[in-house]
Structure 1
Amino acid sequence: MGNSGDDLKSFLWMLVEFIGICLLLAAVPFVVFLDTSVIGDQMSETSLTELLHNIGAFVATICFYRGAVLYPEQRACLVIGATLFAILSIRELDFLFDYIWHGFWVWPALVTLAVGIWVARRSPGTFRRPFLEYLKGRQATFVYLGFALLIIFTRLFGTGDLWEGVMKEAYDPRVKAAIQEGLELLSYTLIAYGSVASLRAGFAAPFMRS
């Protein structure tokens, strides 16, 4: 009977998670619709879509940083993760750094990278095994799938040449921008959700104890 109760609770939790993920995914085109059809902002740097990109990267950064504090046996792995998403966050805010000069975002990104590597090196033996064990968890799937979508799929699927070929004389760069920014929002949504779920699950902790 106890096992049946546990199975029911697990099933209900999975159902709630599935519905939550569906709602998150449905929110992505809704946000793009708000930007383009309600607010009238055609994917500028200050659009709602771009703001949510920044929030997604920031949430991931905080989750991995918090994990590095809570789980010293995984510190180097989680610090590198936090550093990666912090750099993505800086890149998303490049329009603010451009007020200093164009391309200035590279310098705070390099400083962040250097600090992250330095901190990680102060915790030897806490990168390779935690990283490999973390990848066994289902939560990690959301993170690395979102990251792969962000750095590969959105760049290829959002190229102007592709959409010029599809739309021919009717090509409108605003369509391409909406598609690319929407896909980036999807990516950051998956990354943020996976990061929060990973923190709740202890990242690699369950596998390292086994």
Structure 2
Amino acid sequence: MTHKSLPEPSWPIGFRAVCLRATLYILLVAGIAQGVFYEALYFPDDRFSERGFTELAQTSLLATASALLLYVMLGLRQLRLVALLMFGFLFASLIREQDALLDARVFDGAWQLLVSLTVLPILFVVIRHRRAFVAEFAAYSNSLSFGLFAAGFLTTYVFSRLYGRGDFWQAILQENYLRDFKSAAEEVVELFGYALLLIAVIELVLLARRWALARKAG
């Protein structure tokens, strides 16, 4: 995989564009929060289950982000190795979210096999072309997308796990402890983290489009 020089990492974004995107992202987060609220209020039998809004929203966010990353790799053809690694990470998370379904409909442990078949070849490609990856990452790491992706990763895979610990909620609720509290806390924070990851991928798409146009203009 050959690597071509990338545009300068700093690329100004217009104020109007920032305001528009910020508004859309606020609406996205508010819509997700409202969906969780309605799930808890009106669907007590399904809330925070595999059929509930939260789980379905997590799947939708991950699927959308994965599809957008494929567009970056195959359509825009910018930051292809960075997008490939991000795709492997998010698509593996998408598979992991379907663990109960895969265990029930395919076989026990099917999701682990699918994750391995997804991640290992991608890691092989990235390691094989590590110099090109490092060059791409150097350009990408100075972007808004990278900051949002890092925030989403920390929210989903670090904070939500620690915040959702059973011992933590037992200490807070004591004799009033129910596992539903722990599940709700962890799943909702995880959902917000996935929203940040999707926003990061959207910003990556916009960045890659600007770079593709700059390359054509040059």
Return the offset for 1:102: 2.7
- Please give the per-residue CA displacement for 1:105-125, whole angstroms capped at 9, x wherever unaligned: 100110111232344456563
Q: Percent identity?
A: 23
Pick the aligned partner of 1:169 from 165, 172, 175. Answer: 175
1:105 is aligned to: 111
TM-score, normalised with respect to structure 1 = 0.85
Distance 1:116 1:92, change over 3 A: same
TM-score, normalised with respect to structure 2 = 0.82
Pick the aligned partner of 1:142 from 129, 145, 148. Answer: 148
- Where does 1:81-100 land on structure 2 (aligned, <5 Å)? 81-99=86-104, 100=106
1:80 aligns with 2:108: no
What amino acid is aligned across from residue 76 of structure 1 in structure 2?
L
CA-based RMSD of the aligned residues comes to 2.6
Aligned length: 202
1:44 is aligned to: 49
What amino acid is aligned across from residue 36 of structure 1 in structure 2?
A
Return the offset for 1:60: 1.8
- Please give the per-residue CA displacement for 1:103-160, whole angstroms capped at 9, x wherever unaligned: 2210011011123234445656321111121111112221221111111000000111
Distance 1:52 1:21, change over 3 A: same
What amino acid is aligned across from residue 56 of structure 2 in structure 1?
L
1:54 aligns with 2:78: no
What amino acid is aligned across from residue 165 of structure 2 in structure 1?
T
Gaps of 5+ in 1: 1-6
Gaps of 5+ in 2: 1-11
1:25 is aligned to: 29
Pick the aligned partner of 2:17 from 13, 18, 22. Answer: 13
What amino acid is aligned across from residue 117 of structure 2 in structure 1?
V
Single out whichever of 114-123 and 33-42 deviates more from structure 2: 114-123
Single out whichever of 146-155 and 40-49 deviates more from structure 2: 40-49
What amino acid is aligned across from residue 74 of structure 2 in structure 1?
V
Single out whichever of 27-36 and 137-146 deviates more from structure 2: 27-36
- Please give the per-residue CA displacement for 1:58-111, whole angstroms capped at 9, x wherever unaligned: 122222222222455632222111111110110011111112333221001101
The answer as to whether partners of 1:83 and 1:113 remain within 8 angstroms in 2 is yes
Return the offset for 1:172: 1.6
